[in-house]
Structure 1
Amino acid sequence: MTAHPLTSLDPALPPEAPLAMPVQDLGARPVPQGAPAPRRGTRVARAFAIVTAVVIAAGLTREMHAVLSVASLTSVEIVMLVLFATTIGWIAFAFALAVLGTAVLLRRRFSPPHFLAPRARPRTRTAILLPTYNEDPARVFATAVATAEALADADVHEAYDLFVLSDTTDPDVWLAEEAAFLAIRTARRPRARIYYRRRPKNVERKAGNIAEWVRRFGDAYPAFVVFDADSVMTPRTLVRMTLALERRPELGLLQTVPLLVGRWSLFARLQQFAARVYGPVMATGLAVFSGDAGNYWGHNAIIRTKAFAQSAGLPHLPGRAPFGGPVMSHDFVEAALMRRAGWAVEIDPALSGSWEESPPSLVDLAERDRRWCQGNLQHAGVLFARGLHPVSRMHFAIGILSYLSAPLWLAFLLSGLLLALQAQFVRPDYFAADFALFPTWPVIDFERALGLFGATMAVLLLPKLFGLLVAMTSGPVRRGLGGPLRATAGVLLETLVSALLAPVMMALQSAAVFQILAGRDAGWKAQRREDGSVPWSEIARRHRWHTALGLGLGVAALAVSPAVFLWTSPAVIGLVLAIPLSGLTARPVPRIADAGLLRTPEERAAPPMLVRARALRGEIAAALGAERPAATRLLDTPSLTALHVAMLPPPPAGRIGVDPAFVVALARLDAAESVEEGLAEMDRAETVALLSRREGIERLLDRIRPPSPAQAQAA
């Protein structure tokens, strides 16, 4: 096969610089490298949050006991009390973090401004990694080019290289990625270097994708930044993160708090508004509480490469999926292992210029949440690893409880309904084995119950008001939200819709927990990232059981009394309306946008980086043209054929086993009357196998080449 000349283009990858990344032993206590002791402010913040959470949880649990213990507790009441005490703790802790974050942000708002240090240029060579798995190539490479252009405009591009790390398994997407890479490299638009590689096997998913890069190229880059497919960060933020690592040799990982942007469905706008108004308060509280034992969310963070390589190699957990095997929510574990080894891991909510996109619908959120649920429950196998920092263990425990709380609250709701049914229909036993002057039956102090309900709602809702208060103290944010009246109306609207969707999320997460406990693995699917793309038929299929659950709860509550129905009505209404709520929120609602509600500063004045990334996405998509089968795209473009063959990994040394998919693909190709017919008969695995080996490409080219004169004469 004659290779197309590529001498005018840079190589697809830089020279390899291997770096060892040993797998960590969770049962062995490593020798820490001497992380600094927590600052006094961190110790005070931790004590405040823990004491506040304990006091609130204990007070509410005591009040719940008073509500239920008018007479002696029945077995159902004991269950209700235990469920309430189990779940109220993490809600109280979230409230404590909100108070802490509010205090810190208000102090910063009204403190004298600090003079900024002179602009500095990073000396550290940093890689920006864009892992992708069956994502839209135009989106991924638009982010890469927009970032490269911005770095070049800021004149810091020499310090940064970008790597698109593909784990794509769809052959059509794979060849489209290569075509997009070829297009941007041929155009030579960005002065920053953009590299591309695809792994033949997506072993250990995203964590394995990044670990493979570390082991191949990590020694050439003292630091790396991880993006998601929808991540965008400004050069100023990237430079500030790199300078932070240079100034502080003990810092191993610095996590930004990305804002949600770029979606237009009502569901996404609700999330974007909530993240903009309430997010800073919660994130600041978490950051101050965590100190140097913070968390990592898998993207929009900078990591010291050697620290990561030395301490964050992930082992396989014992047993089978969903609890065993590769670690799914790898980011939490990697952060905990780095902190265990003595490296500081910090969250910095003050780092602006960091964005990502939110799921466009409740169905898409549930799909992603199912994986996160499995990953968080899997952390039970890491929770008691030796040598972990206590705050790291808290991150694991809170993550686990955040998903277990859904079935626990569902059980609490059902227990309350059962208690009402017992009081209404079960006759008391006047002749129990143990003599008593009066029979034992369930009695509730309704007046105190109303007070408890109000106190619980205050713990849940006050963080929203704290967030609104802090947002109104910032002029740019206040104007970006449309002023106090529109911002307050947005909070009320977001609270109402979230309250209606909360029972549906409770049912979805409860089902996810039960499925995982039953041994069902979530797998790994590419996320749907487009607004309004969920058909009503899929929405009805996903939520039909939620509607049935709501109707069942409503009928049972009405059978007891109207008062019990009113008590359960928030959950009943949300569940019964699950289908229309999910469907309507998955689509844009122009009237809400026209009224100026749920708008964010980034929507009113889109950051230039986001505007440029969207424009580039359209340009790259136009350059790629219509979606085409992988082999057709490959064979129609000689330069793409040459690039594809050049980037194929060399055959493994030694004896090569038989690849059944490759053998079948060759047989189908040879038996077909045309290349198109042979390719049409192949499944995805066979097409990938054919395109993954030079022999397969050569066989394809032989079928489409015109015969030589000698071959024609022989024929």
Structure 2
Amino acid sequence: MSGYRARPTEFPLTMPDQAFRSKRARVRHRPESKMWRKLMVLVASLLLTGWAAREMYGVLAVSSLTLLEWTLLVIFVLNISWVCFAFVNATVGFFAALISLYRPRQDHADIDLTKARTVIAFPIYNETVEHVFATVLATARLMSGAPGRFECFILSDTTDPDVALTEEAGYRELQKSAPGDVTIRYRRRTINTDRKTGNIRDFVTRWGGRYDYMIVYDADSYMERETILNLVAGMEAAPRNGLIQTIPQLVGAKTLFARAQQFASALYGPVLGHGIAWWAQKEGNFWGHNAIIRIQSLAEAAGLPIMPGRAPLGGSILSHDFVEAALLRRAGWNVEIRADLAGSYEEGPPTMIDLVVRDRRWCQGNMQHMAVLLRTRGLTWTSRFHLITGIFSYLASPLWLIFITVGMALSLQNTFMLPTYFADGAVLFPTWPVIDSERALSLFLATMALLFAPKVYGLLYGLLSREWISTTGVFRTAAGVFTELVVSVLSAPILMATQTGAVISVFLGRDSGWSPQARSEGGYRLQTILRHSLFPTLLGVVLTVSSIAISPIYAAWLAPATIGLILSAPITHVTSKRSAGTLAATVGGLVTPADIVTPTSFAGATAAQSSFAALKPDRLQYLILDRDRQLDRDGLVDPYWPLRQYDVHEPLAMARARAERATSAYEFATMLKPKEKMALLNSTRDLQAISFKFSSLRPRKPAGVDQSGAASISRPKRTHRHRG
């Protein structure tokens, strides 16, 4: 490892911040879109919404509408518009997906890929090294011998010193097994500004000029070799393509909750994905990973500015992907969604708690998009619609809860309060708040049909797909739909409550912070489950008591929502268990084609984990005393510190100050706080300078200690103490 350079020679590109209100912000190039597709989806959604609104008005307008009834009608229209659009999108997606089943898939056979230079980027943040580095190694092996030039680049934003040292050990291990024609690079940022967007920008502005394209992986992404080559071919074939997004399916699920999510993404995902791709065409969206980007377009058009104000609505844009896609379109680059490309995978959250934690961060990012919509000029209407759908995906939950609450308040008013429905003037008859019960039942059944139609489409798609029939089979496909339906019906009210809490938290000014996503089923203690389930459970109790007070029939009608809320803790516990997921798969439910025929990319990454299972990272106190090891790791440490001439990095300054007061390497290592340890690990010059102070105290290495420094260092015996 000594003398190896983990990073190539820099080839920078400029990536300026894009002005939201720039006078130059206009679309320079219109793609060849079929406008009738967008109009068809829009008009169909509006007609359905109008019909549902008219029916709801008919339900309420038996007599003149009261203020509460008008409120109920407005909220219903907002909610049903989202349901109608989802139904129309699924309908067109179902037919587009069926056509794709019998259409020959495009390949790269007639496109010369040998000149394309592609970097596969792995932005990571305090991730499990064994998991991520195995994926990097498997991907490098997968692309070995492929036409074109490929490199893997680990873009670490890790802030945990123990994880950082493990990454260094993992990178040494990578070099032992990496193929010769696919170089693996490693860079760990010294100062973590602007989160993931800052991580990508640091790469583009330092090495972006070396590559034509960047394929962005998440820490749990997997892609097949043919998928990667088809993405590169798609960019080579269309010089105006700025980004191509695949539809990743979930893989590797073990728990019941994860298996249900994986089954839904595998069966319903192609239907919904084909729908978006059909009407969006060259004005698609970006989901942050499992996509290829033309680096020139990213640098030119998608540098994200800092949002005015403080977090959560100000600061760095968390859901950067939607905004980057919109800015690329504003600059005239095409953004495609390729729903026909198979072989794109990712792992999902293993438990409902993990999903809620991730959703809280996504919710904050999507709420920031409201300011983007208001501030940004020159965005296409399709790009604005993508941003609006992201916002409404989270606002829908509090709106449904408000709808239930207002309807309940209306019923309670009719049941318990004295009528005050006479106007101030003289009238013959009061204004009674009555509804058309028969029409209400019809509207309820129609709404349920709209909600569950995508699942029916998914079932039909599975029964007509050769892949599903040959692997999963008819019985297991149907059983999986039923099992997923039960899990989703029980989970939906819980997620409605937690998403409502997330929206409220954002508007109360609480920042979600920045934490790595859980990617394995570690399980949660009962205390943690109860804490996360407190709000949904209390909400369920309140709704149940109120509905029973109104009418037992009303309580029965609301039961599908209230049962899930009241049983939030046991549902979360059971669905988080791996044994429950295994049982569901054993009896024939929640089995996908990827469970039967494991994707090569995922199988390779899983097998490669054994290479990193016994890593022996350095320990800081040992590293301080070992000058040879310091020199050996010099090539791993990024020397770039983005500081102005007179700026001081406080953690590094504190580490220097503590070194002056410590009397041994052991004492110094225990004095340091995590940020100070990271600063010292990121500064080879300071680490070497501090080692001179403690070199005279360096203990003789005991027998049996290997060169990695993995063995613990005993505390050196003090002979004297300097006074501070």
Length-normalised TM-score, structure 2: 0.92
What is the aligned partner in structure 1 of residue 702 from structure 2?
none
Q: 2:438 aligns with which of 425, 431, 447?
A: 447
**Structure 2: which amino acid aligns with 1:270?**
A
Query: Structure 1: how far apart are the matches of 2:320 and 2:296?
Result: 18
**Structure 2: which amino acid aligns with 1:392?**
S
What is the aligned partner in structure 1 of residue 462 from structure 2?
471
Would you say the 8 A contact 2:637–2:684 is kept in 1? no
Is 1:202 aligned with 2:196?
no
What is the aligned partner in structure 2 of residue 563 from structure 1?
553
Q: 1:38 aligns with which of 20, 32, 35?
A: 32
Mapping for residues 7-86 of structure 1, pairs under 5 Å: 7=3, 9=4, 11-30=5-24, 34-39=28-33, 42-86=34-78
Is 1:102 aligned with 2:102?
no
Mapping for residues 413-492 of structure 1, pairs under 5 Å: 413-429=404-420, 432-481=423-472, 483-492=473-482
Is 1:494 aligned with 2:484?
yes
The alpha carbon displacement at 1:640 in A equals 6.5
Query: Structure 2: how far apart are the matches of 1:576 and 1:46?
Result: 42
What is the aligned partner in structure 2 of residue 711 from structure 1?
none
Q: 1:693 aligns with which of 683, 696, 701?
A: 683
Mapping for residues 495-534 of structure 1, pairs under 5 Å: 495-534=485-524
Q: 1:334 aligns with which of 310, 324, 337?
A: 324
Would you say the 8 A contact 1:175–1:634 is kept in 2? no
The alpha carbon displacement at 1:32 in A equals 5.6
The alpha carbon displacement at 1:567 in A equals 2.3
Query: Structure 1: how far apart are the matches of 2:497 and 2:604?
Result: 40
Mapping for residues 316-327 of structure 1, pairs under 5 Å: 316-327=306-317
Query: Structure 2: how far apart are the matches of 1:653 and 1:378?
Result: 28
Query: Structure 1: how far apart are the matches of 2:452 and 2:121?
Result: 38
Query: Structure 1: how far apart are the matches of 2:644 and 2:360?
Result: 42
Bigger mean CA deviation after superposition, 430-439 or 509-518: 430-439
Bigger mean CA deviation after superposition, 272-281 or 395-404: 395-404
Q: 1:142 aligns with which of 116, 134, 138?
A: 134
Is 1:6 aligned with 2:2?
yes
Query: Structure 1: how far apart are the matches of 2:302 and 2:328?
Result: 6
The alpha carbon displacement at 1:678 in A equals 2.7
Cα deviation 1:88-132 (Å, max 9, x = unaligned): 111111111111111112233345788984575342111111001
The alpha carbon displacement at 1:667 in A equals 4.3
**Structure 1: which amino acid aligns with 2:381?**
P
Query: Structure 1: how far apart are the matches of 2:651 and 2:104?
Result: 67
The alpha carbon displacement at 1:653 in A equals 8.7
Mapping for residues 197-596 of structure 1, pairs under 5 Å: 197-384=187-374, 385-429=376-420, 432-481=423-472, 483-588=473-578, 589=580, 590-596=582-588
Query: Structure 1: how far apart are the matches of 2:130 and 2:535?
Result: 37
Matched residue SS, 2:367? helix
The alpha carbon displacement at 1:189 in A equals 4.5
Matched residue SS, 1:169? coil
Query: Structure 2: how far apart are the matches of 1:695 and 1:108?
Result: 58
The alpha carbon displacement at 1:463 in A equals 0.9
The alpha carbon displacement at 1:251 in A equals 0.9
The alpha carbon displacement at 1:690 in A equals 2.5
Consecutive unaligned residues of structure 2, counting only runs of 5 or more, are 699-718
Would you say the 8 A contact 1:23–1:313 is kept in 2? yes
Query: Structure 2: how far apart are the matches of 1:563 and 1:190?
Result: 70
Bigger mean CA deviation after superposition, 437-446 or 309-318: 437-446
The alpha carbon displacement at 1:536 in A equals 2.0
Query: Structure 2: how far apart are the matches of 1:649 and 1:187?
Result: 26
**Structure 2: which amino acid aligns with 1:16?**
E
Query: Structure 1: how far apart are the matches of 2:25 and 2:401?
Result: 44
Cα deviation 1:213-235 (Å, max 9, x = unaligned): 11111111111111100111122
The alpha carbon displacement at 1:532 in A equals 3.9
Q: Structure 1 residues 653 and 689 mapped into 2: Cα distance closer, same or farther (>3 Å)?
A: closer
Query: Structure 2: how far apart are the matches of 1:184 and 1:250?
Result: 36
Consecutive unaligned residues of structure 1, counting only runs of 5 or more, are 709-713
The alpha carbon displacement at 1:549 in A equals 1.2
Mapping for residues 150-229 of structure 1, pairs under 5 Å: 150-152=142-144, 154-156=145-147, 159-189=149-179, 191-229=181-219
Matched residue SS, 1:363? helix
Matched residue SS, 1:243? helix
Query: Structure 1: how far apart are the matches of 2:611 and 2:427?
Result: 82
Query: Structure 2: how far apart are the matches of 1:653 and 1:413?
Result: 53
May I ask how many residue pairs the two structures share in their alignment? Answer: 698
Cα deviation 1:648-701 (Å, max 9, x = unaligned): 415779855444433433444454454223322322112122223234322553
Would you say the 8 A contact 1:45–1:100 is kept in 2? no
**Structure 1: which amino acid aligns with 2:9?**
P
Matched residue SS, 1:237? helix
**Structure 2: which amino acid aligns with 1:291?**
Q
Q: Structure 1 residues 653 and 170 mapped into 2: Cα distance closer, same or farther (>3 Å)?
A: closer
Bigger mean CA deviation after superposition, 44-53 or 653-662: 653-662
Bigger mean CA deviation after superposition, 199-208 or 639-648: 639-648
Cα deviation 1:21-54 (Å, max 9, x = unaligned): 1111110243667434434xx3232122111111
Would you say the 8 A contact 1:149–1:190 is kept in 2? no
Bigger mean CA deviation after superposition, 182-191 or 444-453: 182-191
Q: 2:122 aligns with which of 130, 135, 139?
A: 130
Query: Structure 2: how far apart are the matches of 1:20 and 1:327?
Result: 20
Matched residue SS, 1:345? strand
**Structure 2: which amino acid aligns with 1:399?**
G
Would you say the 8 A contact 2:541–2:562 is kept in 1? yes
Query: Structure 1: how far apart are the matches of 2:98 and 2:175?
Result: 48
Would you say the 8 A contact 1:260–1:271 is kept in 2? yes
Would you say the 8 A contact 2:468–2:593 is kept in 1? yes
The alpha carbon displacement at 1:551 in A equals 0.8
The alpha carbon displacement at 1:195 in A equals 0.5
Query: Structure 2: how far apart are the matches of 1:654 and 1:461?
Result: 57
Matched residue SS, 2:633? helix
Matched residue SS, 1:232? strand
Matched residue SS, 1:289? helix
Q: Structure 1 residues 647 and 560 mapped into 2: Cα distance closer, same or farther (>3 Å)?
A: same
Q: CA RMSD in A?
A: 2.4
Would you say the 8 A contact 2:462–2:477 is kept in 1? no
